[in-house]
Chains A and B, each alone.
Chain A
């Protein structure tokens, strides 16, 4: 079954420190994609970073990087130099081929709170 698991309902991090948000996935597909989205308290979903299953290097986008460990089926998001504006819900998602089309399956999310 295609599934995304985020085991950390909530996390704290001190401003300017790095934080890792965990994500594990389950799929039997050889080709898949993994996404991270940020949802601030205002509600919108903001795309952060993408990792393809065949990408050999870990994806990076500014202060965001994705620690992709294919054998362990994990795709953890690393935020470096945390800022107060990083306080939000973070969702890991997987592009899965289901019922003849691609769908995004989301995890339950991790709420990150950055302390000043």
Chain B
């Protein structure tokens, strides 16, 4: 158990709909990362938040948005869903280390199926 929690575990919805995925980082971790894992694109970095502020953006579509709240949990909002958005969405968290590397601990993922 990494200490990172994600809800829901599975989500089935229809095209055009909007969903919200939730992530709670490990206790004390200020950084939250979102990743998308699909069969054709592999594991892709979407976005990072650090202590409530957006820190980095990856291959995140304009239909997707995220935020990190004062209690450090994060939500990833996916709207106008398309079939191709079906994927496993991971949240990861990390803490700052003086050594300069920040090992990321992954949550169990949310499997999104768009029908």
Contact = CB atoms under 8 A, between A and B. Distances in A.
Contact of A108 (B42, B45, B48, B57): B42
Interface stretch (B13-21, B63-71, B78-86, B101-109): B101-109
B111 A43 contact: yes
A50 interface: yes
A43 B109 contact: yes
**Chain A interface residue number, banded:** 20 to 34
Interface of B: 2, 33, 42-45, 48, 55-58, 88, 90, 92, 99-109, 111
Given A31-B100, A45-B90, A47-B106, 9 more contacts: A44-B2, A44-B107, A44-B108, A45-B92, A100-B56, A101-B56, A103-B45, A104-B45, A109-B42
Interface of A: 31, 33, 35, 37, 42-47, 50, 52, 91, 95, 98-106, 108-109
